[in-house]
Structure 1
């Protein structure tokens, strides 16, 4: 009961389970806390908070912001940012517009490759009607391809079409990681570099920790090897930043859990307290600056 899974996704973005379901699974896994970190949206947080009270699980409010640097897709996790801040919400809305444009370009690329996928097919694969603050992602496109029989598995959809370097992969113009970090800080939150082992760009990750202002790095992740974890733990210690961890749970599709089940990778609950302290100090500093002005 002293562990926290700080990286999970819900139906507010490209997860398969409602926020309340994630919280229930966290309780069943014996966790003390769970992070709700949907892509470019905080739409799932209110439901998660209600469930957290019901199950006795601490909710770590979060978001995963998509950025790019030197042609490399890099994601930044934001924790304890003020999810009522109108400026922060407007910035996330701008991110969702970029994401929608990227998805439409992927569908167009697939059409050029002779795959007769439509945007309506993707929305059907996403399931329920999606609210204005919710997002659609590549897993939904993969599901649509599976439903129409173009691929035999979701992994095949990524391997043949959707993964980086594949024919339908699209990297739209995105903000740089430092800008996402600034957004999170300005909303009073703590910024963490997500799953660095997926990038093959350790120098860029280290720069974000050394001079980019990141508060931490996701050391423990379902797709990290033991060597990855040792390397990023040492990197976190070297720069005096937090070492976080999470499953990156998206749900089970056709029996395959993507990336791992809730609780598969975690951080000590003390990390949650450290994240809260960083954000508390940051908000106190902002309040003090406002008073000085």
Structure 2
């Protein structure tokens, strides 16, 4: 699909196109994310929970009440050459039956990974079960919610195994960590196709976190991506310039997102809502792109 690339971030107004809630591994409810977005002066917010759209209906009602645009989104987990790659979907049909079925299957894979990781932690002399992790949330899981590594990291901090989230990921839960497990998952091109089939626009999330720009470029050339997340809380200014150039070279949209997950142990995970934002013209271009895929379907 032909689009006009736009690579210009904004510092006021605009949209934060990457945030997480309690529907996946965030600490704030969907309505709280929307309220934070309003407080930050955003004109639009995307909620992009991992492999679920469970928090969107609640967020949409609050966004309508507060007068800001809620961009329906999702962040789909994939693997390419042994590297966890995330693909963001925007403006997709959140009631698309096949998409919902596929997301459910991905959550089942995530559950399998979680069990394998807690088993490895136990083998390392750190007894932990997923039943304990869920119980320590202090509430029952709602339908479609997911449990992720940040929840396990919280449990490790509470047990005094590590001092903070960063140490939990560096030593145990992140790629290369002692308890890290990566079960078979779909590839990025599958996620892009699923998003398009559900009438959405597909964007490569935080390419700077993958540590392999050759892989990033290959993914771009081998898929029908519509954009690249150029501005992210963990991207340096140099990263942003590099990925903006890559996006422009391939005619892709440049997006921005804080990747807000809320605060754990007093530290905001990735960045605060509104910390990375892009102009509303990009939001509209994503919507128009999505409409084109919906028409194709």
TM-score bracket for the superposition, by shorter chain length:
over 0.9
Equivalent residue number for residue 47 of structure 1: 58
Structure 1 segment 24-43 matched on structure 2, within 5 A: 24-43=35-54
> Which residue of 1 is the match for residue 191 of structure 2?
180
The answer to whether the aligner puts 1:262 opposite 2:273 as a matched pair is yes
Matched, 1:225 2:233: no
Q: Deviations along 1:92-151, whole A, 9 cap, x unmatched?
A: 000000000000000000000000112222112334211231100000000011112222
Structure 2 length-normalised TM: 0.94
TM superposition outliers: structure 1 runs of 4+ over 6 Å: none
Partner of 2:112: 101
Check the 8 A contact 1:65/1:180 in 2, yes or no.
yes
Q: Distance in 1 between matches of 2:70 and 2:249?
A: 29
CA shift at 1:225, angstroms? Answer: 0.4
Contact 2:189 2:222 in 1 (8 A): no
Q: Give the CA RMSD over aligned residues.
A: 1.0
Given the alignment, which residue of 124, 128, 141 partners 2:139?
128
What is the aligned counterpart of 1:203 among 214, 219, 233? 214
Which residue does the alignment assign to 2:81?
A: 70
In structure 1, the residue matched to 2:4 is none
Deviates more, 1:142-151 or 1:178-187: 142-151
> Deviation at 1:279?
0.8
Classify the secondary structure of the residue corresponding to 1:24: helix
Segments of 5+ residues of structure 1 without an aligned counterpart are 287-293
Cα deviation digits, residues 196-223 of structure 1 (max 9, x gap): 0000121222223233100000000000
Given the alignment, which residue of 155, 159, 166 partners 1:148?
Answer: 159
Kept in 2, the 8 Å contact 1:189–1:279? The answer is yes
User: Aligned partners of 2:270 and 2:136: how far apart in 1?
Assistant: 19
Tell me the number of residue pairs that the alignment of Structure 1 and Structure 2 aligns.
286
Query: Is this contact kept in 2: 1:209–1:215, CA < 8 A?
Result: no
Q: Is the 8 A contact 1:19 1:45 kept in 2?
A: yes
Does the 8 A contact of 1:125 with 1:143 survive in 2? no
* TM-superposed deviation, 1:160: 1.4
TM-score by length of 1: 0.95
Please say if residues 54 and 143 of structure 2, whose CA atoms lie closer than 8 Å, have aligned partners that are also in contact: no
Residue 19 of structure 2 is aligned to residue 19 of structure 1: no
- Please give the per-residue CA displacement for 1:253-276, whole angstroms capped at 9, x wherever unaligned: 111000000000111111100000
Partner of 1:273: 284
| 1:212 lines up with 2:230 in the alignment | no
Counterpart contact for 2:226–2:253, Cα < 8 Å: yes
Structure 1 SS opposite 2:184: coil
Q: Which has the higher contact order (CA 8 A, sep 6+)?
A: 2
Contact 1:7 1:246 in 2 (8 A): yes
